[in-house]
Amino acid sequence: MNIKKLEEILDDKVTSIENLGGGCISDTKKISVVSGQKFTVKLYSKDMGIKEANGLKELEISGAIRVPRVLFADKSMLVMEYIAQGNKAGFFFEVFGKQLAALHRHQSEFFGFYEDNFIGTNPQINLPQSSDWISFYFENRLLYQYKLAEKNGYVDNNFKNLFSKIEKRLHSILNGSQEAPSLIHGDLWGGNYIVGLNGEPVLIDPAVYYGHREAELAMTKLFGGFSELFYTSYDDTFPLLQGHEYRQGIYTLYHVLNHLNIFGQGYKPEAISLMKQYQ
């Protein structure tokens, strides 16, 4: 970390640096300065800083749910407000469901985003934007990950045949679920939100684009899901279309393929199982 550059950005002297952890994507630090203010700084090995900043800004524009305020971003560093964490109160998941539904009511004319970004460490292709969700989802989400899996050596004949059948059936699988493009976090699981000091939900680490909101809800269930109150509150605020349970697996498939391409063979059986659901 370039401390001199950071002090110029913050117009203050750094007094302490605390490691907040990270992983394969970034290294996160809590920075304290002379004035007593605290900031969160994320350092990247890839050109991700600006992409994540733009996603956070897009979420903030919606006014639906809290995100860290961006102070500075370049390709390798993101500087944000530091949000002290509190505890989940009894109302947390009810509020979270309502606020996510409000976020999804922030809509666009086209699916995608004005730039490509990242899903984990893999590129997420958002251009060209499209008014056709099914084609967008297949080409920019499923097919992109499939070709990456092919390149990584994970695709055998069985995998290839199953995916070919998904391509042929996708229109019938998603038929009747057409909606306007919703602003979605894009990678919403239990590790990508925090609880603010007042018990409010705060979204972090987005992979933002305008997509189908069913894809967002499917991702929330990939690692065990949230509280049932969350889903009830969401559906009371912005009811999901009939058949969303059936379509959940086809949206989960994108994230499982992405995990296969990041973490390896351990996710292949789950990808095969999901594809077999729609044969």
Strand partners, 22: 27
Structure token digits, residue 111: 């699916």
Question: Which amino acid, 204?
Answer: I
Cα separations (Å) of 249 from 159, 190, 200, 243?
A: 16, 18, 29, 12
What confidence score (pLDDT) does residue 28 get? 93
Distance CA 200, CA 88 (A): 8
CB 230 within 8 Å of CB 160? no
pLDDT per position as a tens digit, 65-122: 999 999 999 988 999 999 999 999 889 999 999 999 999 999 999 999 999 999 999 9
Digit-coded pLDDT (tens) for 179-219: 999 999 999 999 999 999 999 999 999 999 999 999 999 99
Catalytic residue, candidates 12, 27, 187, 236: 187
Name the amino acid, one letter, at 23: G
What is the spatial distance between Cα 217 and Cα 11, in angstroms, rounded to a whole number?
41
Kindly give, in sequence order, each residue whose CB lies less than 8 Å from that of residue 146, ignoring residues fewer than 6 positions away.
Answer: 155, 163, 257
Annotation says 187 is catalytic: yes
Provide the whole-model pTM: 0.95
Question: Quick one: pLDDT at residue 2?
Answer: 84
3-state secondary structure of 153: coil
